[in-house]
Structure 1
Amino acid sequence: MATALLIIDMQTGLYDGPQKPFEREQVLHTINQLIRRARAANAPLFVARHTGPAGSPIEAGSALWQLWGGLDVDESRDGLFNKTRPSCFLGTDLAQQLAQAQVDELVIVGMKTQFCVDTTCRVAVELGFSVVLPEDAHTCMDTPALAAEAIIEHHNATLAGAFVKRVRAADVSF
């Protein structure tokens, strides 16, 4: 069986919107390092792009819907797919693609920590995957209730053990 890298919602509208994600440049750099390491190991890459309804800022084809230009993804060879829900599995064929690639472990990175990253980690475990969460490779924005740094640390701590193996990105192996 194999390990795959799953990159969630690293899109222009989220990454470069009016509210900037916490440590966005460092997170992007860390994700790009993981992409290079996954490619060197011939590990499959899957890239989720959140798609809003027609008329929304992130509707399919809009400028804000596009992957962030600095993300080292090759849309012609990486498993790019669209989703409309926080889970990367609901309404997509991701589980089938992972089965076809004989993947049993996912390294999950991207945005936003408290929505799509959290949901996808939990659902992946329910579907029988092992999940690795690099604590320094996902991010979000501040909310009125909590600073992004606190949200990230809370989810790293909450997901660790029961749902994910929490590691530093430098310690991820494919």
Structure 2
Amino acid sequence: MASPASSRSALLIVDMQVGLFNGPEKPYEGERVLDNIQQLIRKARSASAPIFAVRHTGPAGSPIAAGSALWQLLPALELDPALDTLFDKTRPSSFFATGLAQQLNDVGIKHLVIVGMKTQFCIDTTCRVAVESGFDVTLVADAHTCMDTPQLSAKMIIEHHNATLGAALVKRLDTAQVRF
């Protein structure tokens, strides 16, 4: 189960944007990760769990500047601005200067199910800040991704973060195990 029975859960989708997902460097197992996130969206909707989706916003003139085609969330996610909370960030943390913690508290969310991109930056930071902010967190181990770096393969980065974050900070589940 994704959360204790006494707490309300929400799905938090991080930086699943056109420019990051479809850029020159492809995310590791991107289509599988996207499919898993789509499954989690359906599960959240079925359980009437809120969905929050954040976009990383670059400075004016950058490929992911606000309003640019590459900045948009992936259409395949089928997010609905009338139902879902869509917001922007400028730092790796989904909480920094976004009002996210207050929005979650306002609707009684105690537990976050976190998915998206990029594992070693925004997923890692968002998980850590969520825990520091008093939320219970489930990191969906098969629903976050990144790209290879010169030092490490994306697969190794993902495995490392699943192990590190799952060791003491967050609960780690696969898509099939998550319940809202």
TM-score under structure 1 normalisation?
A: 0.98
Match of 2:53 in 1: 47
1: distance between equivalents of 2:76 and 2:151? 30
Q: How is 1:43-82 mapped onto 2 (pairs within 5 angstroms)?
A: 43-82=49-88
2: distance between equivalents of 1:154 and 1:98? 28
Once the two structures are TM-superposed, the CA of residue 161 in structure 1 deviates from its matched residue by 3.1
**2:13 alignment partner, SS class:** strand
Q: 1:114 aligns with which of 102, 107, 120?
A: 120
Once the two structures are TM-superposed, the CA of residue 72 in structure 1 deviates from its matched residue by 2.2
Q: Per-residue displacement from partner, 1:61-112 (whole Å, max 9, x unpaired)?
A: 0010011121121122201000000000001010011001100000000000
User: Quick check: 1:13 aligned with 2:19?
Assistant: yes
Q: 1:165 aligns with which of 160, 166, 171?
A: 171
User: Quick check: 1:145 aligned with 2:118?
Assistant: no
Q: 2:139 aligns with which of 112, 133, 137?
A: 133
Q: 2:161 aligns with which of 135, 139, 155?
A: 155
Q: 1:4 aligns with which of 3, 10, 13?
A: 10
Q: Per-residue displacement from partner, 1:96-141 (whole Å, max 9, x unpaired)?
A: 1100110000000000000000000000000110000110000000
Match of 1:26 in 2: 32
Match of 2:3 in 1: none
2: distance between equivalents of 1:83 and 1:120? 11
Of 90-99 and 64-73, the range deviating more from structure 2? 64-73
Match of 1:93 in 2: 99
1: distance between equivalents of 2:167 and 2:135? 14
Q: Cα RMSD between the aligned structures?
A: 0.7
2: distance between equivalents of 1:90 and 1:43? 23
Structure 2: stretches of 5+ with no match in the other structure: 1-6
